[in-house]
Chain A
Amino acid sequence: MGKHGSLLAIFVLCVLLSVPVLTIFSSIFDSSDGVWQHLVDTLLWSYIVQSLQLMLGVGVLVLLLGVAPAWLVTMTRFPGSRWLEWALVLPLAMPAYIIAYTYTGMLDVAGPVQGFIRDTFDLRFGDYWFPQIRSTGGAITMLSLVLYPYIYLLSRMAFLEQSVCVLEVSRTLGANPWQAFSRVAVPLARPAIMAGLALVLMETLADYGTVQYFGISSFTAGIFRTWFGMGSATAAAQLSAVLMLFILVLVIAEQWSRNRARYHHTSTRYSQLPQLKLTGWKMAGALVYCLVPVLFGFIIPFLQLAWWAWDTRALVDFSAFSQLIINSLRLAFTAALIALILGMFISYAKRLQPGMPMRTATRILGLGYAVPGTVIAVGVLIPFAWFDNSLDAWMRAQFGISTGLLMSGTLIAVVFAYIVRFLPVAMNTMDAGLGKIKPSMDDAGRSMGLGPFQILRRIHIPMLKGSLLTAALLVFVDVLKELPATLILRPFNFNTLAIRTYELANQERLTEAAASALMIVLAGIIPVIIISLSISASRPGHDKRT
């Protein structure tokens, strides 16, 4: 198979993986019996406003929580900075709906914190002011606390990969460290930060668990209300299609605003980073700034979960529980591996052939991340069931054999849905990495007679090790946390940690749900720490340190 054959194969693969997204889009042409009129008359506008508020709030907060700490732990030294380097990633292991349950349990009117205030000061409800956790502000905080690590990871990777020369030049031109950060390092890291922000905003839009629990009428909440409450699956799919169009516009606008700027490394000179040792109030400020996200995004909710789990330990059935752990890990591992391989080929094909068809195909594919998991699951269910039933009908007609449902209701369908949903995470990470490798490296490879696959294997993969590992582990952690697609598509008698957690929490048994929630977090911590460490090690020229 020549270069064109491989590219064609990858293109076909992209199209195949886009089937669920396209299935949802195709609903636009169906009629939905006046549901739209009703939505326009009542809630559509508030869905849009709520979702925009969420996006804006989360967008600003994750940038505040993610970019500066990444810069501080990369470029400076202060007590605890080594530890914070990887600890800042930990909230990634915490599913948004679980952090929402946990903080609600603590901070709600009937929770221990407000109870303590009432008992201590002998107050009744209404006598004192306390922030309302179940509010738009609360949802923004919860989502930001678990999503900022995307920004942190990608911007840290970018800062690490920046050549020190650029910063040195900026210093010789009279810039102080703050200017070096704000006027050189951040603008250079823009593709990475934007890739992270895109992931965060898509995940914010797709979130259902948190908004539903907080009673917020976001666009996604509206999709489900329309589907379940009014029984209109068509209108719900149409709303999802609108959501995807909106994302598409954002993505294109961002790329267009970058115009023709490219962000390759311009120098091959890497020396060890000159880490500035902070002292005095600067040291204290840096420490507090970096500690806040870890404390609220991980340590506090983790301790609360551990406390609840300990309280309800008598109710845990350990043999059933270990099966849940195995199931969760097996799915996460399989999906991560497949996403790694597919993501690498697709990102690379896009680099080789940046033409219109490939760009369009990958862009459509990328939308999967913004769609609520339940909707993706239906997008997977439709083509799979169609294929199975058509095959069955054909086999019956030809050979009198019934093949039944071959793939629907198997783990293949579940993993397929994961890939559709999470491949964009892998691709975004790899694109950001690949974008920094100068095309002249490819040219050099070609001039030495290497084919595209050899260039990939001998030049790009070694240079991208960090990005590849990060991509795979991000998918791994995402799958561990994934709930809705697993719930709908899974085979009989098959459960995961996320499902167990959700089922108990759904019955309003938060303390009993804590044990499985804690396991999801614990299983996610190890890959998260590996991601962190591998990024430190992925710095070009890292080996020369010794």
Chain B
Amino acid sequence: MAKKTVNPTRMELTRLKKKLTTARRGHKLLKDKRDELMRQFLDMVRENKALRERVEAGITQSNKNFALARSAMSEEAVRVAFMTPKQEIQLGIDTRNVMSVEIPVFSYQTRTSDENDIYSYGFAFTSSDLDDAVLSLSKLLPDMMHLAESEKSCQLLAAEIEKTRRRVNALEHVMIPEMEENIKYITMKLDEAERSSQIRLMKVKDMMLEEAHHYKEKEEQRAKEQVEF
């Protein structure tokens, strides 16, 4: 691995070691976060899928009802019937915290107290099929709100999981190996420097002793004397 230039000093080594412990701890925490997020996400996405299938089936059905209603009425009559809606929905958003992801929780209330007050037209000029169609759609509304809630939550969680996973991978495969490599490099460099200074000291000691006591000359002299005898 291409490593950045590091100063092989003791200070750098301490700093790197500290950084490595932090990185390891962060990695472990993020991994736990990712696993928990994933668990929550999978539960939620299953719910999301079920809800969506239900809502889609419901909307398809109520579209059929509307088509049926339309067949018995002129387009103008339908337009007039829906021109001035009576009902209004007010939506409140709370947030729930899932592993530091803020996911929305919707609550809604209708403007009039009677939730079934949905027919914005007099019954004289519209067919009863239209009433049924509107009713079928209104029964679907709670599910649609749930769907909005859970689908948004899934999207937010998915984004967060992706981010977390990227961080975990960056730590695991880039940061931590790189630091380990650098630490190894510095340790070896320092050891090498220590050995070399040790050897140098030994050499110097030898030389100084030689200078002080002239061991070599004395040895030579002794050898010469022995030969003469």
A associates with B = no
